[in-house]
Structure 1
């Protein structure tokens, strides 16, 4: 639908990790960079060392390595909005793993936004009822347009169709989002014109720019001159991720200085994603914000909910509920066997590596710190390696004639309170080697033969 030029920028971070910056929506198989060259690896050894990309717990496989060329390639199209939403930085952590010997290189995919989304308004038409007694300079808040892109590719400006009565004022909210207000430039006269309609256009800053429109329809009434005002512009809330359903997160409150119906206030969300609408419910009358779904710190650590308070004629005030999601220890460690030899020769020397174990925990801080161990009655032990990797090695001589196989139980426990743990069983077979000479049942045999 739209073409664009792209380039891949490779850099090293302050901690020595390699970072690749490239635009979203690159075709599958596109080359991101030569990771072997960037890490100073011998391309010829990539296949023999079973070089592969480890996704560090990500559910999707975003990139792969061509072991013939050492190039890092796109494994599937990457949608920045799907992965990171409105986050300013979209970073995916990856690891290049090689074996024989075990070698681990961390690198980062920095996904750059492209202008692949156009601005959209919540409704197809914005309706106002404005008294003909409204003064010149009166202002009316407009619903903002939502653009899934970020930065310059998000909404940058608004324009309205030329009309006799209204001008447009474009403002920037406390969260950096641009929105518009209608400003009366010429008083309305119901006896001359009881309805006014014109087009509002939102334009993003992409190249080329994309736009979305909505119809503004004004019904001129015979008198409401005060918009609702919230008690706080920003409500900051901390909420544990294991909070039960129907928890009241906060009660927002706005007041309108007008009397009667003109002073009655109702509450509603501004533009909100479908996923958040399934998690939160806002009572239109009381302003109570309730939890109706599951929140997950590992998915999103902060949640921003824009809310409007409107009176009966459409005058509105706005606020933001900013929720800081608190992590709890709700994820048990995950044990993954990256490379385990099914059979080990009985003459393997002590210290022989027979497997590589990787342990992950999606929780943060102490809740994500993991200790790994195995039972004590086997001639094997776990040796901590790089980051969250362990090598499973022999600790003594093996004898197939004494014991031909082993069932090893690995236990991983995190440092949460209370701690969570998980186990994984590994079955190893001891392979026979020719280490025993033939043995007769008797040292001598006697026989009598008749002549």
Structure 2
């Protein structure tokens, strides 16, 4: 059985039990002591007694509360001094408790509190973290990272996080928040736009700092891999390809190879080539290897049928939502035969028909003529093109002896000649020379360049003043040398002072009375008739109608007064006028 001593007095276990009963029954004082962790061994913590209670002084019977008191503290039972037996660690034990039983007086409960020091750095649970972000991750997206832990308290705990290195172009930023458990949690946030093709890998060194002076820190490396998304279409190394092949080449002959690349990776960069048959090569004269991009002859070629082939080539990647690009391949078929020239005429009118307006000025284009000689030995420049007919009013011009333009040489007048016959002749310089001709029947179209013309400038007419409304007076007539709407004439009267007496039919030009005419009011009314065509802008001319209104006895005498009153002197002489 263990024994304890008070001074030189030995106390057996039985006595200790009795003493503990006395402790429980006696009054107790609490003595609080403090010491910072990490102090050297033998550092004084304090005394059991505080010197204010002489009845509670040494010697003491010390009763530890917990086994660590004996291992970590040294207690002088004679003086009551308490010292460290080891270097204390608050993170291992934050406080010690013991009961000191003096020989007289009240019991003393001693609590030794170990004060925290900044002796622990923030520590991440893992020194290396690997994460991935798709390159289309939106800005401000957050990913929670494992937080750092610090065994110290309060200000000595983790206070902030920084990106120490590796944050290229500020692509990422950190945010943190402290939860009720006291841990400062960490989020990694997208601060820019990710592009795997620009930077596919980041290695961030993230440090956690506590609030010490200077702060202690811990580090964690975060390796970030940017995952590819199919955001780049294939790109051809040329925007257009050119090649030539003889028309007698056998099926399977390779013509050329095209190449496209894709900045993405994996399936997103795997390219498949094809020919867009909807837009080109519907007859499937050519084929392309889907993986190598080699274009070859698929069917026999015919120069005389088609000399130039335009292929629309599509490069499509194998992404989940595939992207594609297009390029153009021009393949020229080389002739091995002789052929006469061919002439193609394109009329430059609004509806592509052989016509020209009579208002066309010298130099204006009538038609575009392209001359083609399929013979490989004969270039376009070796074909001579001439224009026949047209009475010298049309000519032929060219800049390159490939494309010719029929132009107006002299002014035209449809009213004099409404059409012309032209003949285009193309002759090559072979031996013997071959030629071709193209007949053009050219129509000269009308413009509204002629005003209506009355058959005479002055019309004379007679009408009785007793004529009823609607009585015919005279019919005027005008003609227009133009045609179509330009020759459709509308008649009208220029409003005179007596306009309500007459009216004119807009189509026929017949003038009739509109109301009763009156010779006494105006015996010789003068009318002005306008003839206006339907052209744009309309043209017009005028004629004069002189109307003679014949009088009839349609007015009885009228007294100037209905009653006359006069006085006569009785001596008035005979014959004197007394009233008029």
Superposed pair shares fold, TM > 0.5: no
Q: TM-score range by the shorter chain?
A: 0.3 to 0.5
Q: Highest Rg: 1 or 2?
A: 2
- With normalisation by structure 2, the TM-score equals 0.32
